[in-house]
Amino acid sequence: MAVTGVFMSAVADTHAQDHHHGPAKGFSRWLLTTNHKDIGTMYLIFSFAMFLLGGTMAMVIRAELFQPGLQIVQPEFFNQMTTMHGLIMVFGAVMPAFVGLANWMLPLMIGAPDMALPRMNNWSFWLLPCAFLILVSTLFMEGGAPNFGWTFYAPLSTTYGPPSTTFFIFAVHIMGISSIMGAINVIATILNLRAPGMTLMKMPLFVWTWLITAFLLIAVMPVLAGVVTMMLMDINFGTSFFDASGGGDPVLFQHVFWFFGHPEVYIMILPAFGAVSHIIPAFSRKPLFGYASMVYAVGAIALLSFVVWAHHMFTVGIPIVGQLFFMYATMLIAVPTGVKVFNWVATMFRGSLTFEAPMLFAVAFVILFTIGGFSGLMLAIAPADFQYHDTYFVVAHFHYVLVPGAIFGIFASAYFWLPKWTGHMYDETLAKTHFWLSFIGMNLAFFPMHFLGLAGMPRRIPDYALQFADFNMVSSVGAFMFGATQLLFLLIVVKCIKGGKEAPAKPWDGAEGLEWTVPSPAPYHTFATPPEVK
Amino acid sequence: MRVHAKRAVALAAGLLSPAVVVADWTMNMTPGVTGTSNQIFSLHMTILWICVAIGVVVFGVMFWSIFAHRKSQGAKPANFHENTVVEILWTIIPFAILVAMAIPATATLVEMYDTTESEVDIKITGYQWRWQYEFINEDFGYFSSLSTPRDQIENRQAKGENYLLEVDNPLVIPVGKKVRFLLTANDVIHSWWVPEFGVKKDAIPGFINETWTRVDEPGIYRGQCTELCGKDHGFMPVVVEAVPEEEYNAWVAEKKEAAERERELTQKDWTMAELMERGEKAYQTACAACHQADGSGAPPAFPALKGSKIALEDMAAHIDIVVNGKAGTAMQAFGNQLSEVDLAAVITYERNAWGNNTGEMVTPKEIFDYKNQQ
CA dihedral A99, A103, A109, A114 (to 10 degrees): 150
* Predicted pLDDT at A27: 84
Residue A269 dihedral angles phi and psi, to the nearest 5°: -115, -30
Domain positions in chain A: 31-517
Taken in order B71, B76, B79, B85, the sign of the CA dihedral is negative
* Rounded-to-integer distance, Cα A426 and Cα A436, Å: 16
CA distance A237 to B113: 38
Q: In angstroms, what separates the C-alpha of B53 from chain A's closest C-alpha?
A: 11
- Measured in angstroms, the CA of B126 and the nearest CA of chain A are apart by 13
Residues 6+ apart with CB under 8 A from B90: A338, A339, A342
**Cα A110–chain centre separation:** 22
CB pairs under 8 A between A and B: 290
Specify the pLDDT at position B1.
43
Chain A residue with Cα closest to B209: A317
CA B342 to chain centre: 24
What pLDDT is stored for residue A2 in this prediction? 39
**pTM of the predicted structure, to 2 decimals:** 0.89
Predicted local confidence at residue B329, as pLDDT: 76
> Per-residue confidence of chain A (534 residues) as pLDDT tens digits?
334 443 444 444 444 444 556 787 888 889 999 999 999 999 999 999 999 999 999 999 999 999 999 999 999 999 999 999 999 999 999 999 999 999 999 999 999 999 999 999 999 999 999 999 999 999 999 889 999 999 999 999 999 999 999 999 999 999 999 999 999 999 999 999 999 999 999 999 999 999 999 999 999 999 999 999 999 999 999 999 999 989 999 999 999 999 999 999 999 999 999 999 999 999 999 999 999 999 999 999 999 999 999 999 999 999 999 999 999 999 999 999 999 999 999 999 999 999 999 999 999 999 999 999 999 999 999 999 999 999 999 999 999 999 999 999 999 999 999 999 999 999 999 999 999 999 999 999 999 999 999 999 999 999 999 999 999 999 999 999 999 999 999 999 999 999 999 999 999 999 999 999 999 999 999 999 999 887
Domains of chain B with CATH codes = 2-112 (1.10.287), 120-263 (2.60.40.420), 266-373 (1.10.760.10)
CA distance B345 to B198: 40
Nearest to B210 by CA among A317, A255, A321: A317
User: Could you report the predicted ipTM of this complex, rounded to two decimals?
Assistant: 0.90
Put simply, whether B70 touches A (Cβ < 8 Å) is yes
pLDDT, residue A488, reads 97
Query: Which three-class secondary structure state does DSSP give residue A266?
Result: helix
Q: Is B319 helix (H, G, I), strand (E, B) or coil?
A: helix
Q: Is B3 exposed, middle or buried (0-12, 13-18, 19+ CB in 10 A)?
A: exposed
pLDDT of residue A19: 52
Cα–Cα distance measured from residue A461 to residue A79, given in angstroms and rounded to the nearest whole number: 8
Q: Is B328 left (phi over 0), alpha (psi -120 to 50) or beta?
A: left
Distance from CA of A244 to the nearest CA of B (A): 5
Are A316 and B330 in contact (CB < 8 Å)? no
The contacts of residue A498 (CB under 8 Å, 6+ apart) are none
Q: How many CB atoms lie within 10 A of CB B293?
A: 14
Contact A334 B94 (CB under 8 A): yes
* Minimal Cβ distance to A386: which of B28, B200, B298: B200
Supply the pLDDT for residue A14. 45
In angstroms, the first-to-last Cα distance of chain A is: 50
Rounded to a whole number of angstroms, the distance from the CA of A140 to the nearest CA of chain B is: 13
Judging contacts by C-beta atoms under 8 Å, the chain A residues touching residue B204 are 244, 250-251, 316-317
Residues within 8 A of A (CB atoms), B 229-258 only? 229-235
Question: Looking at the annotation, which residues of A are catalytic?
Answer: 85, 114, 150, 178-179, 262, 264, 266, 277, 311-312, 337, 340, 459
- As a whole number of angstroms, the distance between CA B93 and CA A394 comes to 27
Q: Which residues of chain B have pLDDT under 50?
A: 1-3, 9-22
Q: Which residues contact B317 (CB under 8 A, 6 or more apart)?
A: B310
Q: Given A155, A286, A315, which is nearest B201 (Cβ)?
A: A315
Give me the pLDDT at residue B330, please.
77
- Regarding the domain delimited by A31-517, which CATH topology (the fold level of the hierarchy) does it fall under? Cytochrome C Oxidase; Chain A (1.20.210)
Reference B111, options B176, B207, B40, B46; nearest CA is B40
Buried b (16+ CB within 10 A) or exposed e, B151-160: ebbeeeeebe
> Of the candidates A209, A215, A213, which has an alpha carbon nearest to the alpha carbon of residue A291?
A209
User: Phi and psi (nearest 5°) for A512?
Assistant: -130, 155
CA distance A125 to B109: 47
B71-110 residues touching A, CB cutoff 8 A = 71-72, 75-82, 86-87, 90-91, 94-95, 98, 101-102, 105-106, 108-110
